[in-house]
């Protein structure tokens, strides 16, 4: 009997599949449908309208929006890169050096998750603010005489806070993939004369690549649509593409435009992820024994 | 298969439960409500009002407390008033549009025409409002469209430039928000249709309903350039007030509530009386077109115009009430200053938020997104 069709398997898959269908697939479908609706008039459940591409046209016609989409993709690539690079040594230490202290350190790493995302972002306002921790420290040491006002309310502040928010999250998949590495392979590398750095670059790193890749995408994909952090610490010029979508859905009561912009972002991100997957050749990495 | 049969109803329960959670509901009955279950005396069953009636209101948080509907609570102790909450005007409008079904809803100018256009509200029979004549004509006009009254105005307040007099001696114009002398110390409200475009229109000598395409383009450019002097856009009043207390912000677009609270906190604040005029916003109540409780809703709104409720709004929340004869109840000097109650002509010199069409509204919101997306 084909195990893929066994009743037990179906029963296990059914709840998440149904959940995803109701709360992901249907809303996505509705959003796609909405993006062709001329305007949100005559009630929400109104299907008496002729489909139009106007909202897609208007999005591309406004140079600012497409510029912001590219910028958001850029910010997401950078944030994902910094986060993954910073998280790798942490995960490496946990997996190979921490020994018996690993569970404790792992708990410490995920402690920030016990606080809400919003609170952690607001905490950065206190750290980066004019009278904040950083300015106070440098004023006290005498390095600066006036508080530096540029720490907060800039796109740099957005990148800094996002890296902080994602860091512990990203260390986990890398840690998991490092744990899976067979230690005898590393010993073999040493026995064959590999120096520690050669061992890291040619054995450990390639073997942990699936985790690194997963971690990178876990940061990159949600960051493209991020809007809370720019709103809180981005200042007047720190908006990202997600902020524009949020305005159309929220204050704008212009769901069709917001839907079209969200669909464009979705298509763009999917294309980019497929491109990255192709360049990195995930299948080869993942399936390699 | 048994498992699947079990799972379907389970999932449905989860769906229903999560939908229920989304609607934050508060049920309140007035303090005078008799214990539920207590049999009412024989005589009262002969009165016209049915026992155990309900009235639902889509409200902003803090207006659900019985102090904000004293008269109705006293007249209808048997009625259970159910409050659901909205976070913004757009949120409240979207909820009603999606069929949330409350009898009464509370919005701020300029939303009234949108409700009328969508057929979501019905005319108000003002002849049955005992307090209607106490409302000044300007406020009544704000609720009138093509000669039909669609709402009952209730709370109002100002928008102007709030500033710290330690850093800025005097502000006489809205252009202070664009002044390079205060670079990095200005904060604008994060809003296009009710914030940025009306202010731009005042500076250009017009109002938000009469803005031409060329003027709109000019207004957009003004705000794009303004970002060089603006530190951050505030989304809620606490973050704005925090900006003033920390010393980061010297001047900001602000409502009089923030002015009042900062005065109370002892900051050297002043609230501009700009040459272009302040803005005056008005909160309005409408009755759902689909309600089965029209009479009760009308009484609720009449009570909103009552003296006790009006005085509570003024004294407890520092917002204006539409009936001027209640102003004399205010004795707090800071509050008198914050609402300019000592200046009888102030309302004549302000720019009331005027009705705009949904098309205009959408264009103004888009202008704001373009400001934010500009390089």
* ipTM of model: 0.88
- pLDDT over 80 at B48, yes or no: no
DSSP characters for A143-201?
Answer: S-SS--TTSSSSHHHHHHHHHHHHHHHHHHHHHHHHHTS-HHHHHHHHHTT--HHHHII
B108 in contact with A, Cβ within 8 Å: no
Scanning the structure block, which residue is given the tokens 């502040």? A157
Chain B: residue nearest A13 by CA? B4
Task: Specify the pLDDT at position B90.
Answer: 93
Q: What CA–CA distance (Å, rounded) separates B105 from B84?
A: 9
CB contact under 8 A, A244 and B374: no
Higher pLDDT, B167 or A6: B167
CB contact under 8 A, B235 and A231: yes
pTM across the whole model: 0.85
- pLDDT over 60 at B35, yes or no: no
From the CA of B280, how many Å to the nearest CA of chain A? 20
- pLDDT over 60 at A1, yes or no: no
Q: What CA–CA distance (Å, rounded) separates B297 from B71?
A: 13
B370 chain-A contacts, CB cut-off 8 A = 62, 64
Chain B: residue nearest A251 by CA? B90
**Residue A129: which of B14, B246, B361 has the nearest Cβ?**
B246
Model confidence band, residue B34 (pLDDT cutoffs 50, 70, 90): very low
Query: Is the Cβ–Cβ distance between B94 and B111 less than 8 Å?
Result: no
Task: Specify the pLDDT at position A147.
Answer: 76
Most confident of A146-155, B36-45, B220-229: B220-229
Once rounded to an integer, what is the mean pLDDT over residues B198-221? 96
Higher pLDDT, B41 or B200: B200
**Residue A44: which of B97, B184, B232 has the nearest Cβ?**
B97
CB contact under 8 A, B7 and A15: yes
Please give the mean pLDDT across all residues of chain A: 89
Task: Specify the pLDDT at position A284.
Answer: 60
Model confidence band, residue A287 (pLDDT cutoffs 50, 70, 90): low
Query: Is the Cβ–Cβ distance between B244 and B252 less than 8 Å?
Result: yes
Chain B: residue nearest A19 by CA? B11
Distance of CA B276 to the CA centre of its chain: 23
Q: What CA–CA distance (Å, rounded) separates B56 from B80?
A: 8
CB contact under 8 A, A41 and B358: yes
Task: Specify the pLDDT at position B16.
Answer: 40
Q: What CA–CA distance (Å, rounded) separates B233 from B230?
A: 7
Chain B: residue nearest A236 by CA? B232
How many interchain CB pairs under 8 A, A with B?
106
Kindly list the domain boundaries of chain A, sorted by start residue: 63-114+153-287
pLDDT digit string (tens) for B105-155?
A: 999 988 999 999 999 999 999 999 999 999 999 899 999 999 999 999 999
CB contact under 8 A, A130 and B247: yes
Out of A41-50, A59-68, A88-97, B46-55, least confident range: B46-55
CB contact under 8 A, A7 and B117: no
From the CA of B217, how many Å to the nearest CA of chain A? 14
From the CA of B15, how many Å to the nearest CA of chain A? 9
Model confidence band, residue A121 (pLDDT cutoffs 50, 70, 90): confident
- pLDDT over 60 at B6, yes or no: no
High-pLDDT (> 70) share of chain B, %: 86
pLDDT digit string (tens) for A206-245?
A: 999 888 988 999 999 999 999 999 998 999 999 999 999 9
B114 chain-A contacts, CB cut-off 8 A = 253
Specify whether the backbone of A274 is left (phi greater than 0), alpha (psi in -120 to 50) or beta: alpha
- CATH entry 1.10.3720.10 includes domain A63-114+153-287: yes
B217 in contact with A, Cβ within 8 Å: no
Out of A222-231, A234-243, A271-280, B166-175, least confident range: A271-280
From the CA of A218, how many Å to the nearest CA of chain B? 26
- pLDDT over 80 at B186, yes or no: yes
Model confidence band, residue A258 (pLDDT cutoffs 50, 70, 90): very high
Task: Specify the pLDDT at position A118.
Answer: 85
Nearby residues of B163 by Cβ (< 8 Å), 6 or more positions away:
B171, B176, B250, B251, B252, B269, B270, B272
B238 in contact with A, Cβ within 8 Å: no
CB contact under 8 A, A235 and B191: no
pLDDT digit string (tens) for B273-307?
A: 999 999 999 999 999 999 999 999 999 999 999 99
Q: What CA–CA distance (Å, rounded) separates A178 from A89?
A: 11
B17 in contact with A, Cβ within 8 Å: no
High-pLDDT (> 70) share of chain A, %: 95
- pLDDT over 90 at A277, yes or no: no
B275 in contact with A, Cβ within 8 Å: no
Please give the mean pLDDT across all residues of chain B: 87
Once rounded to an integer, what is the mean pLDDT over residues A32-47? 90
Q: Exposed (0-12), middle (13-18) or buried (19+): which is A116, by Cβ within 10 Å?
A: exposed
Structure tokens, B293: 């409780």
């Amino acid at each position: 009997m084909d195990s893929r069709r066994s009743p037990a398997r179906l029963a296990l898959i059914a709840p998440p599949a149904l959940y995803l269908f109701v709360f992901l697939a249907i809303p996505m479908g509705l959003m796609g449908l909405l993006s062709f609706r001329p305007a949100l008039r005559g009630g929400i459940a109104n299907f008496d309208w002729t489909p139009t591409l106007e909202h897609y046209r208007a999005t591309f016609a406004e140079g600012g929006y497409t510029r912001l989409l590219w910028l958001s993709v850029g910010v997401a690539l950078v944030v994902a890169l910094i986060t993954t690079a910073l998280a790798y040594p942490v995960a490496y230490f946990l997996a190979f050096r921490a020994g018996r202290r690993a569970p404790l350190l792992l708990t410490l790493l995920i402690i920030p998750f016990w606080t809400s995302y919003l609170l952690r972002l607001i905490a950065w306002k206190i750290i980066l603010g004019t009278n904040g921790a950083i300015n106070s420290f440098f004023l006290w040491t005498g390095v600066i005489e006036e508080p530096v006002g540029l720490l907060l309310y800039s796109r740099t502040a957005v990148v800094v806070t996002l890296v902080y928010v994602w860091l512990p999250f990203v260390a986990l998949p890398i840690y998991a993939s490092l744990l899976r590495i067979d230690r005898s392979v590393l010993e073999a590398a040493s026995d064959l004369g590999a120096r520690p750095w050669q061992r890291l670059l040619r054995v450990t790193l390639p073997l942990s690549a699936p985790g690194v890749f997963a971690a990178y995408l876990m940061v990159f994909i949600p960051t493209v649509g991020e809007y809370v952090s720019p709103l809180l610490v981005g200042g007047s010029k720190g908006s990202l593409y997600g902020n524009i979508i949020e305005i159309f859905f929220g204050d704008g009561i212009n769901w069709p435009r917001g839907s079209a912009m969200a669909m464009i972002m979705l298509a763009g991100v999917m294309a980019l992820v497929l491109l990255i997957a192709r360049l990195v050749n995930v299948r080869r990495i993942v399936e390699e024994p | 298969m048994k498992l699947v049969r079990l799972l379907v109803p389970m999932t449905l329960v989860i769906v229903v439960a999560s939908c229920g959670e989304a609607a934050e509901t508060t049920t309140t009955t007035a303090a005078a409500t008799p214990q539920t279950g207590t049999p009412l005396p024989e005589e009262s069953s002969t009165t016209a009002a049915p026992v155990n009636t309900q009235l639902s209101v889509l409200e902003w948080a803090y207006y659900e407390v019985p102090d904000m509907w004293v008269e109705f609570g006293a007249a209808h102790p048997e009625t259970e008033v159910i409050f659901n909450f909205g976070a913004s005007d757009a949120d409240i409008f979207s909820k009603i549009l999606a069929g949330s079904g409350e009898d009464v809803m509370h919005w701020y100018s300029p939303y009234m025409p949108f409700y009328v256009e969508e057929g979501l509200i019905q005319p108000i029979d003002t002849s049955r409002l005992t307090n209607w004549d106490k409302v000044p004509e300007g406020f009544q006009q704000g609720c009138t469209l093509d000669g039909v009254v669609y709402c009952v105005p209730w709370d109002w307040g100002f928008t102007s430039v709030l500033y710290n007099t330690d850093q800025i001696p005097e502000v006489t114009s809205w252009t202070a928000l664009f002044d390079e002398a205060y670079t990095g110390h200005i904060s604008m409200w994060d809003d296009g249709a009710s914030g940025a475009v009306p202010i731009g229109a005042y500076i250009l000598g017009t109002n938000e309903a009469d803005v031409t395409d060329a003027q709109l383009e000019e207004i957009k450019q003004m705000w794009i350039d303004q970002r060089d002097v603006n530190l951050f856009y505030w989304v809620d009043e606490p973050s704005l007030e925090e900006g003033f207390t920390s010393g980061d912000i010297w001047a900001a677009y602000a409502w009089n509530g923030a002015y009042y609270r900062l005065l109370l906190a002892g900051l050297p604040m002043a609230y501009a009386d700009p040459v272009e005029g302040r803005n005056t916003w008005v909160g309005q109540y409408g009755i759902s077109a689909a309600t089965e409780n029209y009479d009760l809703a009308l009484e609720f709104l009449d009570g909103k115009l009552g003296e006790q409720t009006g005085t509570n709004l003024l004294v407890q929340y520092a917002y204006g009430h539409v009936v001027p004869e209640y102003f004399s109840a205010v004795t707090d000097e800071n509050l008198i200053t914050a609402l300019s109650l000592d200046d009888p002509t102030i309302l004549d010199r302000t720019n009331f938020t005027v009705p705009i069409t949904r098309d205009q509204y959408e264009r103004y919101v888009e202008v704001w997104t373009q400001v934010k997306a500009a390089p």
